[in-house]
Amino acid sequence: MPSYIQYTGVGDATSYNQRGTPNSNTSEFEANWDDLRFPATAINPPGQASDPDVEATTGLLLFAAAGTETIFALVQMPHSWKEGSVVKPHVHWQKTTSADGDVYWQLDYKKIPIGDVMDAEFTTLSATTPVSGTPDNDTANEHLLTSFADIDMTGLTLSDCLLCKISRIGGNAADTYGADARLLEFDIHFQINTLGSEQLYIK
């Protein structure tokens, strides 16, 4: 069970955060996980030739089996984030037919620290296997979750950004599912250890 720091409110002479700062409006506690969420219905494809289709009946995104289709998401790290800790990107998705085969998802990202230049090149992560809690039973409309490798965020702080490119690489030999994959959401699990930051631009 996580151990929380008691917080009695701003202005109370007995209120402290874990750093020992009196009368703070921010309590620091044992790190817990939360989600940065990018629902497919809120992502407007960028208009390039490799866009996924928007499904007319759901507003969700359909990634075709032939060729590569891509979307982008810009991530800003929240003030509650445990700075420098790893983040865990993943996709929530469904098969559109009850057929076997794997979907080859790829994530490319660039780090964009405040006051510094964006990475010159993308770093690439790929995955085909849903996590153990959401096994692929080859069933249409079943909710699957496929996780990428962790992203090392050492040295980054609140409000630093990631530019993320999420793709289905349908032409890859590892992509063996012959129908559309329906994206529900792109998410990033991140650790929080405060309710926010004590100052506007630093913890």
% of the chain beyond a pLDDT of 90: 63
State the pLDDT at residue 28. 60
What tens digit of pLDDT does each residue of 57-86 get? Answer: 999 999 999 999 999 999 999 999 999 999
What tens digit of pLDDT does each residue of 7-40 get? Answer: 444 434 333 344 444 444 555 666 777 777 777 7
Report d(CA 99, CA 178) in Å as an integer. Answer: 8
Question: Mind giving me the DSSP string for the chain?
Answer: -PPPPP---TT-TT-B-TT--BT-S--EEEEEEEEEEEEGGG----SSTTPPEEPTTT--EEE-SSSEEEEEEEEE--TTB-TT--BEEEEEEEESSS------EEEEEEEE-TTSPPPSS-EEEEE-SBPTTS---S-TT--EEEEPPPBP-TT--TT-EEEEEEEEETTSTT----S-EEEEEEEEEEEEEESS-SSSS--
pLDDT class of 107 with cuts at 50, 70, 90? very high
Report d(CA 178, CA 158) in Å as an integer. Answer: 41
State the pLDDT at residue 22. 42
State the pLDDT at residue 181. 97
Contact residues for 34 (Cβ-Cβ < 8 A; gap 6+): 80, 189, 190, 191, 192
Instruction: Domains for the chain: give ranges and CATH numbers.
Output: 29-194 (2.60.120.260)
Answer yes or no: is pLDDT of 193 > 70. Answer: yes
CA 182 to chain centre: 17
State the pLDDT at residue 127. 94
State the pLDDT at residue 35. 74
What tens digit of pLDDT does each residue of 126-160 get? Answer: 999 898 778 899 999 999 999 999 999 999 999 99
State the pLDDT at residue 57. 96
